[in-house]
């Protein structure tokens, strides 16, 4: 195995490959920053370019583009509250408040460090445990995924501050309801489409995220009076990358836990980066001491580090089923699988044995991409963060323009633009009434998957709900969910009991 790793490393570290990863990271970061273009489209765009290269070079370029696009996506979530892909939604929960407070540089730096650490720890786990984990990942059935997704929904608790619990729950339910629009996955019947062809495929995530986050944010800032820039002049630390030692100590355990969680969730073929980021966010909020807990959703560095780490770790984790079994668990790995097959590499259990050099060079290439991204992006952060120093009358139209164009360029459908404006206006009204948007998006993202897996589990068990307690994995995850939900109630009751 060591020989394989060394040979793989030798294949990865050639001057050409290093140049490619450099170019890839750069291009990827910019593609990722545009709403609507996430890692999947970035890689799909690169595939024709990479045909001429040998597999290691091609993979390195794609790895660079991939990590670049993931980081670029986080950038737009953090700076302008425009999560272009579902995996970065959780990063905006605390990342955007941080940049609102004039700490954009710090937020981006934390995102870069966490992503890097998540990628590193996950790659180490990939090196050590890939073949063993692959077998375990296949024991997950639909009912287990259902339980895992329900656990993911508990991340919503982070938005339920004092007196807002009901509002957060209502918005979650609204999100769940919106996810039912479109063709029903199991029966193929259309629901809530009002006979419109535009709604047959459901409401797109991108549309909802851009309209309810970015557009409504831009509209809200128009409603505020005054001409000052989006962030106050006095915040000269806007572009500063400085993260204090105390903060590093605070996020180190968060990064450690989220890496492991993210990797394990990523390994499951039916889960992925989005679920991993929500689970990590929820977990860290539950584990945080009560003072730090208050900060979640208002600019907590823990709340930013957790999803960023888990997101990247899950991406590395998703290579386990791809490389060892040949099963693509996510959209990105499905595109990667196509690219690998085009190179004549068939991922699967034989790859590790038949072509160890290719196997390791793919993994090491992915890691090289991760390292380069950190090196390349840290110096760029101050300039990217400067975006927020633009006067509002320039920044706001820019956000409006890019979010509308981003959605339009994906669907080429003018109906989407009308719907975006409608959603954005509704979102502004709801926000003025203090309803949080994040739980709605959370419910929307998880809702479709929850329904899909629940209905499949029911179909498999002949309509009986006995799988809830008969499958050990399902039962354990659901039990954990119940405990997490009940714990604060119990604590509260205990505190009251003590005080009386």
Partner 1 sequence: MKLINQTILHRALSFPSLLLVSLVLLIAVPIEAQDSIKKIHFLVPGGAGGGWDTTARGIGEVLTKTGLIAQASYENMSGGGSGKAIAHIIETARRQNNTLMVNSTPIVLRSLKRVFPQSFRDLTPIAAVIADYGALVVRKDSKYQDWNQVVRDFRANPRKIRIAGGSVRGGMDHLVAAIAFQAAGENPKKVRYIPYDAGGKAVAGLLSGETQVLATGVGEVLELAKAGQVRILVIAAEKRVAEAPTVPTLKELGYNAIFVNWRGFFAAPGISDQRADKFAAILKKMYSTPEWEAVRSRNGWVNLYKPRAEFVTFLEDQERQMSALMKKLGFLK
* Residue of 388, 92, 69 whose CA lies nearest to 213: 92
Strand runs (DSSP E) across 157-231, as ranges?
182-183, 190-191
Q: Output the CA–CA distances (angstroms, integers) from residue 312 to 167, 238, 286, 317, in the order listed.
A: 31, 25, 21, 9
Q: Which of 198, 237, 247, 250 is close enough to bind partner 1 by CB under 8 A? A: 198
Q: Restricting to residues 394-453, name those near partner 1 by CB under 8 A.
A: 410-413, 452
Residues touching partner 1: how many (CB under 8 A)?
47
Site membership for partner 1, residue 140 (CB under 8 A): yes
Q: Which of 18, 127, 177, 184 is close enough to bind partner 1 by CB under 8 A? A: 184
Q: Which of 5, 9, 23, 44 is close enough to bind partner 1 by CB under 8 A? A: 44
Binding mask 259-288 for partner 1 (x = CB under 8 A): ----------xx------------------
Number of Cβ atoms within 10 Å of the Cβ of 351: 20
Site membership for partner 1, residue 464 (CB under 8 A): no
Contact 114, 253 (CB under 8 A): no
Contact 38, 71 (CB under 8 A): no
Q: Output 164 or 184, the one with its CB closest to partner 1.
A: 184
Site membership for partner 1, residue 346 (CB under 8 A): yes
Q: Which of 5, 9, 10, 45 is close enough to bind partner 1 by CB under 8 A? A: 45
Q: Output 365 or 453, the one with its CB closest to partner 1.
A: 453
Q: Restricting to residues 142-171, name those near partner 1 by CB under 8 A.
A: 142
Site membership for partner 1, residue 185 (CB under 8 A): yes
Q: How far apart are CA 12 and CA 16, in angstroms?
A: 9
Q: Where are the alpha helices (DSSP H) in 34-164?
A: 39-50, 55-80, 89-100, 104-137, 142-153
Q: For residue 182, what is the DSSP state? A: E
Q: Which residues pair with 183 in a beta bridge?
A: 190
Q: Output 219 or 336, the one with its CB closest to partner 1.
A: 336
Q: How far apart are CA 69 and CA 30, in angstroms?
A: 7
* Residue of 13, 33, 488, 403 whose CA lies nearest to 215: 403
| Shortest Å, Cβ 63 to partner 1 | 17
Scanning 252-260, 307-315, 335-343, 376-384 for contacts with partner 1 by CB under 8 A, the matching segment is 335-343
Residues that bind partner 1 in the complex, under the rule CB under 8 A: 40-41, 44-45, 47-48, 138-142, 183-188, 197-198, 200-201, 269-270, 321, 325-329, 334-335, 338, 341-342, 346, 348-350, 410-413, 452, 456, 459-460, 462
């Amino acid at each position: 195995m060591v020989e394989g790793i060394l040979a793989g490393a030798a294949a990865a570290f050639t001057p050409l490959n290093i140049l490619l990863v450099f170019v890839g990271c750069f291009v990827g970061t910019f593609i990722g920053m545009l709403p609507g273009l996430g890692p999947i489209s970035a890689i799909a765009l690169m595939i024709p370019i990479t045909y001429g290269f040998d597999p290691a070079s091609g993979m390195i370029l794609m790895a660079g583009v991939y990590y670049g696009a993931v980081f670029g996506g986080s950038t737009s979530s953090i700076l302008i509250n425009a999560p272009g892909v579902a995996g970065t939604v959780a990063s905006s929960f605390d990342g955007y408040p941080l940049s609102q407070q004039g700490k954009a540089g710090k937020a981006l730096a934390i995102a870069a460090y966490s992503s890097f650490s998540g990628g590193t720890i996950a790659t180490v786990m990939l090196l050590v445990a890939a073949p063993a984990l692959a077998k375990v990942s296949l024991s997950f059935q639909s009912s287990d995924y259902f339980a895992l997704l329900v656990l993911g929904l508990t991340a919503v608790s982070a938005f339920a501050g004092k007196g807002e619990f009901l509002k957060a729950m209502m918005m979650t339910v609204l999100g769940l309801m919106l996810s039912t629009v479109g063709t029903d996955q199991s029966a193929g019947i259309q629901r809530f489409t009002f006979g419109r062809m535009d709604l047959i495929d459901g409401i797109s995530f991108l549309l909802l995220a851009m309209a309810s986050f970015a557009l409504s944010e831009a509209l809200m800032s128009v409603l505020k009076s005054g001409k000052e820039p989006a962030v106050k002049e006095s915040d000269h630390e806007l572009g500063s990358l400085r993260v204090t030692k105390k903060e590093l100590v605070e996020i180190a355990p968060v990064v450690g836990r989220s890496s492991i969680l993210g990797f394990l969730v990523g390994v499951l073929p039916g889960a992925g980066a989005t679920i991993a980021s929500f689970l990590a966010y929820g977990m860290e909020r539950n584990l945080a001491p009560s003072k730090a807990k208050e900060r979640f959703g208002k600019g907590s560095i823990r709340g930013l580090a957790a999803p960023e780490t888990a997101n990247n770790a899950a991406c590395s984790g998703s290579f386990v089923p791809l490389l060892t079994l040949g099963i693509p668990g996510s959209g990105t790995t499905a595109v990667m699988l196509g690219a690998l097959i085009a190179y004549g590499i068939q991922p699967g259990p034989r790859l590790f044995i038949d072509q160890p050099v290719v196997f390791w060079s793919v993994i090491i290439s992915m890691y090289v991409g991760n390292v380069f991204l950190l090196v390349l992006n840290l110096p760029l952060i101050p300039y990217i963060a400067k975006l927020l120093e633009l006067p509002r009358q320039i920044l706001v139209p820019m956000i409006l323009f890019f979010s509308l164009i981003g959605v339009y360029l994906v669907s080429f459908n003018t109906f989407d633009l009308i719907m975006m404006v409608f959603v954005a206006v509704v979102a502004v009204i709801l926000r003025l009434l203090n309803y949080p948007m994040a739980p709605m998006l959370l419910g929307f993202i998880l809702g479709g998957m929850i329904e899909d897996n629940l209905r499949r589990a029911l179909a498999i068990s002949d309509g009986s709900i006995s799988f809830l307690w008969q499958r050990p994995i399902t039962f354990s995850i659901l039990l954990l969910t119940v405990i997490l939900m009940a714990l604060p109630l119990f604590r509260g009751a205990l505190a009251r009991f003590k005080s009386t």
